[in-house]
Amino acid sequence: MLDTRLGGVGRHEMRATLVEVAAQLLREQGPTAVTTRAVAQAAGVQAPTIYRLFGDKDGLLDAVAEHVFAAYVAGKALIEDSGDPVADLRAGWDTHVGFGLANPALFGLLADPGRGTRSPAAAAGLEILRARVHRVAATGRLRVPERRAVELVHAAGTGAVLTLLTMPPEDRQFDLADAMYDAVVQAILTDAPALAEDSSTAAAVAFRTVVPELPALTDAERALLSEWLDRVTDS
């Protein structure tokens, strides 16, 4: 049963309640169940209230996605680093896949390019991924530029979850996500921080992470050094 708690409350409280009700409908019955009429009825308000607060159904869905995903991202941000950047990158992948499979309808909304690009929570989640990749780069283990590594991990993770969600739960091949991660690792990581065949690229990527923090250089010199290193990593 849905909670139908709404009385003499303010705009903020009313909005939060409607988001919670819509999130519950989304979780239990899927996106098709989240209609303005269903949400209004479950919350005990008139449908025009939803239009006044969210504009339309898409606005309500955006608010629901933001609410749930923001809580997830905040939890990720609180996880302490283990001291092993490569292990932390894998842990982040596993958490991402687990969240997607546990929240299929919500993940579908977030994977929609039109909605995802407007989501502050999705942007914050991507920043967490960038930070983890940056720490890997600083160890000399990254064989590609940081931006490329982030794009590959993000694309592969989203694709793996969406593919698994197309399968009936009882037929899901969970090793698919593991195989996808292993393929990405092969593409972005070196076997060791030194003595690898492409160690010059890995060294350039690693050095690139500290260039912004070199106090002895001017801004122009740091920009020029960054440009030189970028040429090495892109070659």
204 has a pLDDT exceeding 80? no
Long-range contacts, stretch 192-198, CB < 8 angstroms, 24+ apart: 192/141, 193/139, 193/140, 193/141, 194/140, 196/143, 198/143
Residue, of 177 and 59, whose pLDDT is higher: 177
**Percentage of the chain lying above the pLDDT 70 cut:** 77
pLDDT (average), residues 1-21 = 69
The rounded distance, in Å, linking the Cα atoms of 125 and 74 is: 9
Q: What is the pLDDT of residue 8?
A: 47
Q: Read off the pLDDT of residues 57-89 as tens digits, 9 standing for 90 and up.
A: 888 888 888 888 888 888 776 677 788 999 999
Is residue 138 within 8 Å of residue 86, measured between CB atoms? no
Q: What is the pLDDT of residue 7?
A: 47
Would you state the structure tokens that stand for residue 146, as one six-digit string? 């940081």
Conformation bin of residue 30: beta by default, left when phi > 0, alpha when psi is -120 to 50? left
Beta strands in 9-150 (DSSP E): none
pTM: predicted TM-score of the whole model, two decimal places: 0.70
Q: What is the pLDDT of residue 196?
A: 44
Mean pLDDT for the chain overall: 81
Q: What is the pLDDT of residue 9?
A: 55
pLDDT confidence tier of residue 154, bands split at 50, 70 and 90: very high
pLDDT confidence tier of residue 218, bands split at 50, 70 and 90: confident
Q: What is the pLDDT of residue 221?
A: 66
For the ranges 37-46, 88-97, 176-185, 191-200, which has the lowest average pLDDT?
191-200
pLDDT (average), residues 214-221 = 70
Is residue 211 within 8 Å of residue 225, measured between CB atoms? yes
Q: What is the pLDDT of residue 157?
A: 95
Q: What is the pLDDT of residue 76?
A: 75
